[in-house]
Structure 1
Amino acid sequence: MLDLHVGLIGAGVMAQTHLEAWITLGARVSVYSDDGHHAHLAQTHSVHGVEAATSLEHLLADCVLVDICTPTGSHKELILAAVATGRHVVCEKPLAMCPDDAREAADAAARAGVHLFPAHVVRYFPEYEALHRAVTAGAVGEPAILHFTRMTAYPDWAPWFQDDTQSGGILTDQMIHDFDFARSLVGNPVRVYAQVREIHDGHHIAAGTAVLTHASGAISYFHGLWGQPGTSFRTTFRIAGSGGVLHHDSHETTAFRVLAHPADKEDDRIPPVGLFENPYAAELRDFALAVTTGRAPRVTAHDGVMAVRIAEAARESARTGRAIDLTAEEAIR
């Protein structure tokens, strides 16, 4: 159990999700939100010792680690306020709306000597953990083609998702998960091409596609969907390389399988994955242990900056209809 005081900023869906994970981990939590909804959130979880802070200043003065779960447009200023008081920060993805803001936040944390953790929770889902271990161990040889899909119902529980200037739309808010994961597998991209189609007539629907060409020579394909109400959550990935193929579909009863060639071998198989760990708890535990023990976390501030850069390039490509060359960008270094 964690002996840690967390200051949680926000009271929406993600704040509730993070709060439940912190409670599971045994952390002491105070909450605050500008809209005042944090009071109800604290009351609902008062049996676990959750308290409502009276102001942002009160929250920052009385915690060790700050967890930011607010709309994306507010992230940078909240990060800067937290690191200015010497607090470590967990920030729900994306780190900021644009690469310059993400870089400014990361640089401020570095100057203050505190950790800044971007909460890219997909890296902590067991299927993706198993994928990363397998690819790193050479299960598919040299990765060549990566294909990711992600779909769910349109996030209409908050109006800011419909405003691309606040959320970044499907490319930044949803597909950034898979951009980040592909980069963790095969390195930085050098070229990005993307398209987006949105419908705001009756039900809100958004679909995005993107192609990343990586410096390693690998090519990643992405498909994202925010669908009609009732659209079930589904993810897939398929990684093909010189030594085989890894495939996963969350709708299949077999959660993870390896298709290796020329023939399956005992040592080609993925060890059983534990499906009982809450990925949000695993993520926050990793970040908390980095703060309390000094060990390196799985996801760094630089990872968060790069994910925002890729998403911004995808948005620019979708706006202009042209591929975006990242080799001349300062962010790829």
Structure 2
Amino acid sequence: MQLRYLKTFIAVATTLNFTRAAERVHLAQSSVTEQIQALEADLGAMLLDRSNRQLRLTAAGQQLLEYAQALLDLADEARAAVADAAKLPRGRLTIGGLETLCATRLSPLLAHFAQAHPSIELQLKASGSGELRNALRSAAMDVCFAFSTLDEGEELQSEIIGSERLVIIVPPGHRLARATEVGPGDIAKEPFLVTEQGCVYRHMFDTAFSAQRPRIAAEVASLAAIRSLVEAGMGCALLPEVALAGSNSAVHRLTWHGDMQTVPVMMVWRHRRVQPPALKLFLDEARASFATLTPADARRPRAAQSR
């Protein structure tokens, strides 16, 4: 069995879709089909039931899936042990994160790491929390960054490596536009723009306003759209301040002094008995990088204020 075929098989087995599997392993769909057929020929058993429109694992395929990831993990551990003994941090790291973190915190981190370790190939992917979780568990990603935990389980490890300050943004000319900070009482009657249920940014809003929630004017699909609608005067919004980095929007940002003033930044990676040297280096670099970016007052919760 070739290890790359096992990686392709895991992608097919977890997506049950050749097209999505091909995207995950960066191969043409025809190549994915060829590798699965070669694996079936090598093992002498059908791994996938293609008789119906819905692709399904056979009993043999289900049995292989229980071993495939363990075999790949063992191969990774062997490479890591050899590389560690030879003191040669090489390989490829796939790093993921929420779009906001990829565009702000992760870009300079990767640039610095690439310069310090040119022998390590890096790939950065922006996804939602659900996609990040699935990519970690399927070994399509080595480490990711998000604003909340990703249901760790036994196969994942996580660590809070920083925090981001929350702010309220209001339209130009708003009655609070000249203020610098607000508390729950200041915006209790204001309409708010939020993302959809299930989104990490919606969870921030629901948590920050758990006691007294303002009126929701609309659910919006993206932070960029929320910023535009706030600028157009449709309402206010609660966001991590980092989401406004580099934005030319005319919205006014106000420091938020509610019960929840910051959100943690989580670093999550797959648990291994032997950590690959390249990943170990990156985790340490990320810890150092985010430590310098943590808001100065993140460790000093302040009482909510009202005007």
**More contact order relative to length (CA 8 Å, sep ≥ 6):** 2
TM-score, shorter chain, exceeding 0.5? no
Bigger radius of gyration, 1 or 2? Answer: 2
| Greater strand content | 1
